[in-house]
Amino acid sequence: MPQKRRKRADERREDIMAAAERVFAERGYRAGSLAAIAEAVGISKQTLLHHFQTKEDLLVCVLERRDLRNLEIVADLGLTTEAMARLVDFNLDWRGLVHSYTVLSAESVAEDHPAHEFFTARYDRSRHELADNLRAEHGDRLPGGLTPEQAAPLIIAVNDGLQLQWLLNPRGVAISELFRAFLATLVPGEPSART
């Protein structure tokens, strides 16, 4: 493929992912149709399917794209508890994307689901990377008493679990405050944590 044509294809993929992120954010995964995404980009559904074979493929790419953006936020701050708390705040502006993420991660538990490998690998990687970073920051025990290998899956679980409660009742669940209160039990005395 000539270089110029490849560049156009990359840009088109990027346009589609940006539109998909908006459509999934506004309507959720199930109601957000490929036709609506194609229309937002100004292409036919057939052209969209040339770039992404299925709706699930497209969502996995959108989620990977979001992960890369999250990693940039974390990289700027270092993977501190403060960075994790900011990620929680950041996601509050993207209710539809949190929604589609929550639905797809649950659906993906089925072994024949198209995103099963993505989510299994993503959680394994997240647990290991977070544990490694907590170990580099705090050693074998966090100040609150947990090991890095205990704290990492618990931090991820609290984030996912609070997002579900918040999606069901946005006014009834103060997700940022609760997440910081939780971090304060893991790392007492850190300024970001105590509410």
Which residues form the interface with a second copy (CB under 8 A)?
28, 30-31, 99, 102-103, 105-110, 116, 119-120, 123-124, 127, 144-146, 150, 153-154, 156-162, 164-165, 167-169, 172-173, 177-178, 181-182, 184-186, 188, 195
Nearer Cβ to a second copy, position 114 or 144? 144
Distance of CA 103 to the CA centre of its chain: 12
Q: Of 38 and 142, which has the nearer Cβ to a second copy?
A: 142
CA–CA separation, 171 vs 174, rounded Å?
Answer: 7
**Rounded to the nearest whole angstrom, what is the least distance from the CB of residue 158 to a second copy in the complex?**
5
Compare residues 41 and 178 and give the one whose CB is closer to a second copy. Answer: 178
Q: How far is the CB of 93 from a second copy (least distance, A)?
A: 17
Closer residue to a second copy (CB): 33 or 120: 120
Report angle CA 35, 68, 113 to the nearest 5 degrees. Answer: 55
In the complex, the smallest distance separating the C-beta of residue 97 from a second copy, rounded to whole angstroms, is: 12
Q: Which is nearer to a second copy, 109 or 136 (CB)?
A: 109
What's the closest the beta carbon of residue 45 comes to a second copy, in angstroms? 23
97 is written with which tokens?
């994307």
- In whole angstroms, the minimum distance from the beta carbon of 113 to a second copy comes to 9
Q: How far is the CB of 186 from a second copy (least distance, A)?
A: 7
Q: How far apart are CA 164 and CA 169, in angstroms?
A: 9
> Rounded to whole angstroms, how far apart are CA atoms 130 and 112?
28
Nearer to a second copy by Cβ, of 41 and 156: the residue is 156
